[in-house]
Amino acid sequence: MNNDNIEKQIFELLQEIDSFVGIPGFEHEEFILQALHEAIVAIKNNNFAIGAIITNSFGKIVAKGQNKVFNPYHRSDQHAEMNAVTNWEKKIANKLINLEPAYIFSTLEPCPMCLSRLLSSHVKCIYYAVPDEFGGMARKKENLPKIWKEFMKNRVIQEANCSPKLKIYCKQIFELSDKKIEISGLWKELK
């Protein structure tokens, strides 16, 4: 598949997502939709299409993050969840007393780096739209070292309750960004 073909598919998918307003009846629909908007920014900037948002317990968005691994330059730590947590921690700096619970919603299952970071942060609940069978750690969390497993106590780590249609969009946009990056050759060097 060539680049023009990928760009065409991305264009068509973004048009379809643009007219999607979410399906009522799913608790996390609006949050995952917001995370997907971050993923859209990421793919437009030639990064992996993964987005994340952090909310407080009233459902207000307190931080956003998107993948920035390749653009503007290669930064191995610039995953969506990492950026969302960094943005949130800047806001709560020196305000840890009586900190209200925070919830993260991401479009893709967190990788080992992001899950470990989240477990050592003050984020209480971790929700992701789509499992990542190749790089996800959330479903393999029992394999973490002892101290990280202790950090999991009293936390929620699970798939988000959003519509199947929204999950498909999160998966499709990530896969298209993955193909686009593969064609660009940027990622090949690291595999």
Positions in the binding site for Zn ion (CB under 5 A): 79, 111, 114
Give me the DSSP letters along 32-75: HHHHHHHHHHHHHTTS---EEEEEETTS-EEEEEE--SSSSS--
Question: Chain centroid to CA 6: how far?
Answer: 22
Beta carbons within 10 angstroms of residue 147's beta carbon: 9
Pick the closer one to Zn ion by CB: 9 or 87.
87
One-letter amino acid at 123 equals: V
Pick the closer one to Zn ion by CB: 29 or 108.
108
Pick the closer one to Zn ion by CB: 6 or 115.
115
Pick the closer one to Zn ion by CB: 22 or 144.
144
Q: How far is the CB of 114 from Zn ion (least distance, A)?
A: 3
Q: How far is the CB of 16 from Zn ion (least distance, A)?
A: 26
Q: How far is the CB of 117 from Zn ion (least distance, A)?
A: 8
Instruction: Fill in the DSSP letter of residue 144.
Output: S
Q: How far is the CB of 53 from Zn ion (least distance, A)?
A: 15
